[in-house]
Amino acid sequence: MPTTTSDSFFIATPIFYVNDVPHIGHAYTEVAADALSRWMRNSGIDTWFLTGTDEHGQKIMRTALANGVEPKEWADRLVEQAWKPLLTTLNLANDDFIRTTEERHESAVQKFLTLLHDKGFIYQGEYEGFYCVGCEEYKTPADLAEGTDEFEGQKVCQIHGRPIEVLKEENYFFKMSDFQEQLLELYRERPDFIQPASVKNEIVAFVNRGLEDLSISRSNIDWGIELPFDTTHVTYVWFEALLNYITATGWGSNEEEFARRWPAVQLVGKDIARFHAVIWPAMLMAAGLEPPKNVFAHGWLLVGGEKMSKSKLTGIAPSDITDVFGADAFRYYFLRAITFGSDGSFSWEDLSARYEAELANGLGNLASRVIAMLHRYRGGVIPDPSAGTGAAEEALRSVMTDAVTKANEAMHSFAIHEALAQIWRIVEDTNGYLTEQEPWALAKDDANADRLDAVLYQAADALRVLALVLHPFMPNSMSALWGALGQEGEPSDQVLLDAAVAGGLKTGTTVLELPPLFPRIEQD
């Protein structure tokens, strides 16, 4: 059963730390959320796609100071010069972009804290233990490893491999332990709440081992949102960052908007699934709010077998790829080549090979050939297929119908790679159909005119359906294809599943010229 069937769809990415510029791991989360939200929006569902930046905390404060500027100035610089430009680089159609330094966020966070404090879920205590600034996370001894090389003899964070800090400070705590049973009940009642199953199992086991209360304030730093009931403390960065999903959608200021949007599908990397599937729903339960609709954890992009990261110097800038291959190929490649929910290795060779085989030779060549034949044999006008249609056309039409249905089911279950695989059946079968029907041979004898009409119509109609269903993945090139097929406006002006039915192309439509959708790339 599809997981997301209700009449509204709100999808949010994590908000990104502004200590550094984006790499392709961040871009992966963004393009996945964008393709899902475009699919839902194009399907006529009331859709909201939220992304943004996480700007408080020690990590950003330290980076700013190391660069000789105030944290806010640093954040402004990174947001304007790197994070907002990423939206254009990847051609994202986000509906909102939240920064945690915005007033709308800060005031709603304080309201939330006051609410939990008034309800008795926040108390003062002492935190004594470990903290990793890289993760911005409190650590238990089990989370640590023995350092190697320059950190020999020290305890380090398992993720960052760098020494952790030892903290002993007066903090405020959130009574997270109160929610252990309710969380386990949530996981039991809604088996799809956390996906994929591997991540779900790990989280259920973690909560089963017992939850501790969570320190939610820091008194030794000042780059953060002050606690409304004790201004000598700032809010722990994760506690306020998680709240962005509701502070950006009207909680505490516009209840009507909030009711329309919430709950969200939370798309996260698996490294931060625990924050979203344990702490976040517990916070919402404490406030009397609904938990998220789903927490879907995607895998990591690996480079050389390891999680790609800037700190390990394996980071690749998204524009390194889009400058050569374009935004559409970037989006297609990562969504097609990696099973959504599993890790995937990135390599330039694989990207080039798929670009060549699937985009340039597969889809691009199909589109060019069909449009060129319509010009050559039918004066650029879509012919009437009715007299010549037969079994081969019926067979292709049924593949189109089946592939669109299955792609839609896959998108509603977050199986983005599977949706693309289904859609590619149309590309491959249309190519195979042309090879078998040989319209270039039919064109040699006027006695075959009806058959040629049917074949050209059928291939052009398949392209029209492809432009519609591939538009969420490759908006630029599919708009170009749509226009070349003589269709008005944009594919996104149509209600996706109503329009993507076989036979929707109007006889008599004039087609235009189509420049190569995926030009050959000079390899050096």
61-85 exposure pattern, b = at least 16 Cβ within 10 A, e = fewer: bebbeeeeeebeebbbebbeebbee
User: Cβ closer to ligand MSP: 14 or 196?
Assistant: 14
Give every CB contact of residue 339 below 8 A, 6+ residues apart in sequence.
299, 417
Stretch that binds ligand MSP, among 76-84, 221-229, 240-248, 358-366 (CB under 6 A): 240-248
Residues paired with residue 96 on neighbouring β-strands, in sequence order: 50
Q: How many residues bind ligand MSP (CB under 6 A)?
A: 21
Least distance between ligand MSP and beta carbon 307 (Å): 5
- In a 3-state reduction of DSSP, which class is residue 474? coil
CA angle 518, 521, 522 (to 5 degrees): 165
Residue tagged active-site, from 59, 132, 412, 471 = 132
Distance of CA 438 to the CA centre of its chain: 41
**Contact assessment for residue 249 and residue 10, using Cβ atoms and an 8 Å cutoff:** yes
26: annotated active-site residue: yes
Q: Which residue has the tokens 């908000």?
A: 15
Pairing mode of beta strands 155-157, 230-235: unpaired
307: annotated active-site residue: yes
Q: Tell me if 308 contacts ligand MSP by CB under 6 A.
A: yes
Give the Cα separation of 221 and 57 in Å (integer). Answer: 8
User: Cβ closer to ligand MSP: 40 or 338?
Assistant: 338
444: annotated active-site residue: no
User: Cβ closer to ligand MSP: 21 or 455?
Assistant: 21
Stretch that binds ligand MSP, among 173-181, 239-247, 322-330, 412-420 (CB under 6 A): 239-247
**Contact assessment for residue 88 and residue 102, using Cβ atoms and an 8 Å cutoff:** no
Residue tagged active-site, from 72, 111, 117, 160 = 160
Q: Tell me if 17 contacts ligand MSP by CB under 6 A.
A: yes
**Contact assessment for residue 416 and residue 36, using Cβ atoms and an 8 Å cutoff:** yes
160: annotated active-site residue: yes
Least distance between ligand MSP and beta carbon 269 (Å): 2
Q: Tell me if 241 contacts ligand MSP by CB under 6 A.
A: yes
Least distance between ligand MSP and beta carbon 202 (Å): 15
Give the Cα separation of 390 and 370 in Å (integer). Answer: 19
233: annotated active-site residue: no
User: In the structure encoding, which two tokens stand for residue 181, read together?
Assistant: 């049973």
Give every CB contact of residue 285 below 8 A, 6+ residues apart in sequence.
179, 182, 183, 291
Least distance between ligand MSP and beta carbon 241 (Å): 4
Q: Which helix (H) or strand (E) covers residue 481, if one does?
A: helix 475-484
310: annotated active-site residue: yes
Residue tagged active-site, from 139, 157, 293, 298 = 157
Least distance between ligand MSP and beta carbon 335 (Å): 13
Interface residue with ligand MSP among 300, 424, 433, 482 (CB under 6 A) is 300
User: Cβ closer to ligand MSP: 54 or 106?
Assistant: 54
Q: Tell me if 356 contacts ligand MSP by CB under 6 A.
A: no
Residue tagged active-site, from 105, 135, 200, 412 = 135
DSSP letter for 309, please: -
Query: How many CA atoms lie less than 13 Å away from 176 in the CB half-sphere?
Result: 20
Residues known to be catalytic: 23, 26, 132, 135, 157, 160, 307, 310
Q: What residues line the site for ligand MSP (CB under 6 A)? A: 14-17, 25-26, 28-29, 54, 241-242, 244, 268-269, 271-272, 300-301, 307-309
